[in-house]
A and B are shown apart, each in its own frame.
Chain A
Amino acid sequence: MISSPTLHVISTELTIGMFALSGVAFLLCLLQKGPLSREAVAHWALLGGLLATPFAILTGIDSAPGDGIDNPLLANKVLLSMTSAGLAIGVLVRRKWGGEADIRHACTGMISVGLMLTTAGMGGEYSRNETLLFFVPKETVLIFPIWASILLIILGIVIIAKSAIQHRVS
């Protein structure tokens, strides 16, 4: 058997590896360089990274010392990873609906990948107190009032529903 931290390392490397591959492929899409398979690689790697993300989160929670979120790094990891996952799902759904990997699409994919890699970097800082992202203000957490978050949820649901209906009509 292996310990939770080791399992977390495995799942994290799986997740980050796929996200990193997706990021490189999206960069090629942005530059319009490289093989034609770059679009397929970007989106399939992004999907793979998304599927591995829950395992990384669950093993991370299991292996973290202490109870609950008692460090601003952990709070920022939650917010960044959720934002990244949302953007990634949006990119994949847009692709499924027939969107081309144009500049805006590729940039969004790269932002999603960047946020997830930042999340992983913060995990390294949390466990080993070492990071290359020393310039990122990770100790500051922006927490909305709960009513504002609910408002954002409603707004998100309305936008998604509107987009889905328009897609069906067209």
Chain B
Amino acid sequence: MRIRVGIVLLLMLLSATISTANPGGKGDDIRSRDCAGSCHASSSSNGVSSANLSIELPDEIYAGLLMEIITSVRGVDVSSNNLVGMALLINSDGAKDLPANDGWEVITDPNGGVNNYVEISDSFSSQTSVNRSWTLRAPSSPGSYELYLAVQHGSQEGGIAMSGISDSVEVQVLTVPENLPQLSPEWKPINSRLIGEETTITLETMNTESATVELKNGAEISIISVTDGKFTIPAAVNPGTVEWRVILEGEGPTQTSPWFRLTAQLPGWSVDETSLYVQGFALFLLGASLVMIQRPKEEIIDKKYDNTNQVIAVEASIPELTFTQTSEIVTEATPIPPEGLPEGWTMEQWNYYGHEHLKSLEGGAV
């Protein structure tokens, strides 16, 4: 029997596949490439992704200003859930590789957040190219920088995590020309809103005399007027994303901002936390009290710890003896021999052991 159980267990162990990836992903976040332990078990156990990775930059990038880049993932077959994790990095070392280390700021990631690592579910295959747009704020210091696109995904066969990184893409960040119409360095776009709510956005600009907003909803582009630096995007009736950008005019060359994405979401789930915690405490007390009210039956306690009745019963069964009766019994049982007590014996010893002494005399031994 033991051998059979052992064989079954051995077969179960041998039939297990070794998987090092998190098939469902780990969620968008700010992540270094070498996220061993959080994304994959160990980067050394990863396979090399065959994906063709690229980053498309705008013609001119000014220090401290917003810009849009397009990342592409081409020619790769992934696992059945079509999920690919994409990370925007500044080196391929696996350490100190976050864009923020060089002064980049992710304003809007492809999923509408502000992370350098996003998980994209799309039709990835060896014949397709999946593009995603990122809105970044360039470093505040002009100079030469590098950007990388890293990916991690599963494989069609399963069982191994694939990892890849693009070649270095050099980015020249230019000094901002004087009088260049621009959005204020402190200004940030709104990335999300609730369904059914109009969104009024206030622009903060510099060196700008007039601004025009273009709103793209699907393939249609409409113009929205800007009054006192404010404009309103109509309410969304369904979950989805609209894109908008602003064209800034002034003494310097006209500037067009990157497309900003505004995602309409269903209202999130919420609960009155006070009610929840009070109810939790109530359930705690009620649970404890309902068990404690089932007090152990007294007869059970008596049975386990109280031996009074047993002691009384034993005492009652013992006959009451007086000193006289005892003496008589002892005297009758062991008469003192005519020659008197043996040498060295006391009367008390004779009462207890005298009969043994007599028996030994009868047996001939002393």
Q: Which residues of A contact B (CB under 8 A)?
A: 5-6, 65, 68-72, 75, 78-79, 81-87, 89-91, 93-94, 97-100, 104-105, 108, 112, 128-130, 141, 143-146, 149-150, 152-153, 155-157, 159-160, 162-164, 166-167, 170
**CA separation between A144 and B294, bound complex, in Å?**
26
Across the interface, which residues of B come within 8 angstroms of A93, CB to CB? Answer: 288, 291-292
Across the interface, which residues of A come within 8 angstroms of B273, CB to CB? Answer: 68-69
Residue of A nearest to B287 (CB): A86
Residue of B nearest to A86 (CB): B287
Q: Does B280 sit within 8 A of A, measured CB to CB?
A: yes
**Nearest chain B CB to A136's CB is how many angstroms away?**
17
The answer to whether B278 and A149 have CB atoms under 8 Å apart is: yes
Residue of A nearest to B303 (CB): A100
Known: A87-B288, A94-B295. A79 touches B270 (CB 8 A): no
Residue of A nearest to B285 (CB): A156
Residue of B nearest to A65 (CB): B27
For B257-296 the 0/1 string (1 means CB < 8 A from A) is 0000000000011111111111111111111111111111
Most chain A CB atoms below 10 A, which of B270, B271, B293, B298: B271
The answer to whether B24 and A129 have CB atoms under 8 Å apart is: yes
Across the interface, which residues of B come within 8 angstroms of A99, CB to CB? Answer: 294-296, 300
Most chain A CB atoms below 10 A, which of B24, B290, B298, B301: B290
Q: Does B4 sit within 8 A of A, measured CB to CB?
A: no
**Nearest chain A CB to B70's CB is how many angstroms away?**
28
The answer to whether A141 and B271 have CB atoms under 8 Å apart is: yes
Q: Size range of the interface on B?
A: 35 or more
Across the interface, which residues of A come within 8 angstroms of B284, CB to CB? Answer: 82-83, 85-86, 89
Known: A68-B273, A70-B270, A104-B294. A146 touches B278 (CB 8 A): yes
The answer to whether A160 and B289 have CB atoms under 8 Å apart is: yes
Q: Does B323 sit within 8 A of A, measured CB to CB?
A: no
Known: A70-B268, A130-B24, A149-B275. A82 touches B280 (CB 8 A): yes
Q: Which residue of A75, A94, A129, A153 is within 8 Å of B291 (Cβ)?
A: A94
20 CB < 8 A contacts A-B: A69-B273, A79-B283, A82-B283, A82-B284, A87-B290, A89-B284, A93-B291, A99-B300, A100-B300, A104-B294, A108-B291, A112-B287, A144-B275, A146-B275, A156-B288, A159-B292, A160-B292, A163-B289, A163-B293, A170-B301
**CA separation between A78 and B273, bound complex, in Å?**
10
Across the interface, which residues of B come within 8 angstroms of A159, CB to CB? Answer: 289-290, 292-293
**CA separation between A146 and B273, bound complex, in Å?**
11
**CA separation between A24 and B287, bound complex, in Å?**
21
The answer to whether B295 and A90 have CB atoms under 8 Å apart is: no
**CA separation between A112 and B284, bound complex, in Å?**
11
The answer to whether A79 and B280 have CB atoms under 8 Å apart is: yes
The answer to whether B295 and A153 have CB atoms under 8 Å apart is: no
**Nearest chain B CB to A79's CB is how many angstroms away?**
6
Across the interface, which residues of A come within 8 angstroms of B288, CB to CB? Answer: 86-87, 89-90, 93, 156, 160
The answer to whether B291 and A87 have CB atoms under 8 Å apart is: yes
Most chain B CB atoms below 10 A, which of A65, A100, A157: A100
Q: Which residue of A71, A90, A100, A143 is within 8 Å of B276 (Cβ)?
A: A143
**Nearest chain A CB to B272's CB is how many angstroms away?**
7
Across the interface, which residues of B come within 8 angstroms of A130, CB to CB? Answer: 24
The answer to whether B291 and A152 have CB atoms under 8 Å apart is: no
Across the interface, which residues of A come within 8 angstroms of B289, CB to CB? Answer: 86, 90, 155-157, 159-160, 163
If A78-B280, A94-B291 are given as contacts, then 8 extra A-B residue pairs at C-beta distance below 8 Å, sorted by A number, are: A65-B27, A86-B289, A94-B294, A143-B271, A144-B275, A149-B278, A149-B281, A155-B286
**Nearest chain A CB to B253's CB is how many angstroms away?**
42
The answer to whether B268 and A156 have CB atoms under 8 Å apart is: no
Known: A71-B269, A82-B284. A97 touches B277 (CB 8 A): no
Residue of B nearest to A142 (CB): B279
The answer to whether A162 and B271 have CB atoms under 8 Å apart is: no
